[in-house]
Amino acid sequence: MNQSEILYTNDLAGLLGKTQVSITNAIQRESDMLPPGRFKIGRHWAWKRATVMRWLDDLEAGAPVATQKRKPGRPRITPAAPQASQG
């Protein structure tokens, strides 16, 4: 496998128009905003260029993307309904 066939987090960030920090955070969150098929080379995450390009083509073609369900836990606070003014 040629070195140019491998994309690291900084390469993927440039390709997706994101920062390297956002890519790293997405990896930690197991987010679906990243292409499938990542693997580690040493301590660095990497993707095959062909896999990433195929994933981008599928996104462009409108292929359905898996959505991530919320993790169970405490529900979010919703804003309270405005109360009628008493007067």
Q: Which residues have CB under 8 Å from 41's CB, separation 6+?
A: 6, 8
Give the pLDDT means over successive 10-residue stretches in the chain (87 positions).
Answer: 82 92 90 88 94 90 64 74 61
What pLDDT score was predicted for residue 48?
Answer: 94
What pLDDT score was predicted for residue 85?
Answer: 58
What pLDDT score was predicted for residue 43?
Answer: 93
Q: What is the pTM of this model?
A: 0.65
Closest CA relative to residue 43, chosen from 30, 58, 24, 56:
24
Domains of the chain: 3-61 (1.10.10)
User: CB–CB of 12/52 below 8 Å?
Assistant: yes
CA 53 to chain CA mean position, Å: 15
